A and B are shown apart, each in its own frame.
Chain A
């Protein structure tokens, strides 16, 4: 089954404790991205990747890091989480570049930073 998986689905952590949210897709997609979703703000793109070892900033990259060492995986790293990073996070992948590429979203990771 074609899918995007994320782990963990729920995470409660404390300020400053490094964490990683994993994302994996089994569709051989070149393009992957991370979004965060906050009430009233819709989805905002954090980082995106066009291929292995190629990543770039989205609209809200501050406080986040990503890596793309393998095509299927695109982990999101929070080196020193802060309460304003409490949010619902989605990983997405797509076959094509630009808006023509239908994006497949993972189930989401709900992160709470206290």
Chain B
């Protein structure tokens, strides 16, 4: 079961690129990496998912090095509305549903 480690909090300013790194040293071969975003008083929302190299969608990019022991969520040109908690989730592709664990997350504050 891969344990994840993220920074507790980060600060940024509008228009900047934000990179949040997640460490998962004992990631298993069949584990995927998923990121969720949570606004205050709302349920988490899926952002992006990947297995290796780079994945990009309309919201973010996910960079995963070859050893897969870490991953970086990149948010381009953040705005105030990106202020939220971001969770890194590592879990198996098939089965093991009960092993999904959300850590404490990274609280991102975007300032004007």
- In the complex, are the beta carbons of B92 and A45 less than 8 A apart? no
The 5 closest A-B pairs by CB, nearest first: A105-B43, A99-B91, A43-B102, A102-B46, A42-B104
Give residues in B with beta carbon < 8 Å to A. 31-32, 34, 36, 41-46, 49, 87, 89-98, 100-105
Give residues in A with beta carbon < 8 Å to B. 4, 31, 33, 35, 40-45, 48, 50, 56-59, 90, 92, 97-108
Query: Are A100 and B44 also in contact (CB < 8 A) when A42-B102, A50-B97, A59-B101 are?
Result: no
Q: A97-B95, A98-B91 are in contact. List 8 more A-B contacts (CB 8 A).
A: A45-B100, A98-B95, A99-B89, A99-B92, A101-B97, A105-B43, A107-B42, A108-B42
Query: Are A40 and B104 also in contact (CB < 8 A) when A57-B98, A100-B93 are?
Result: yes
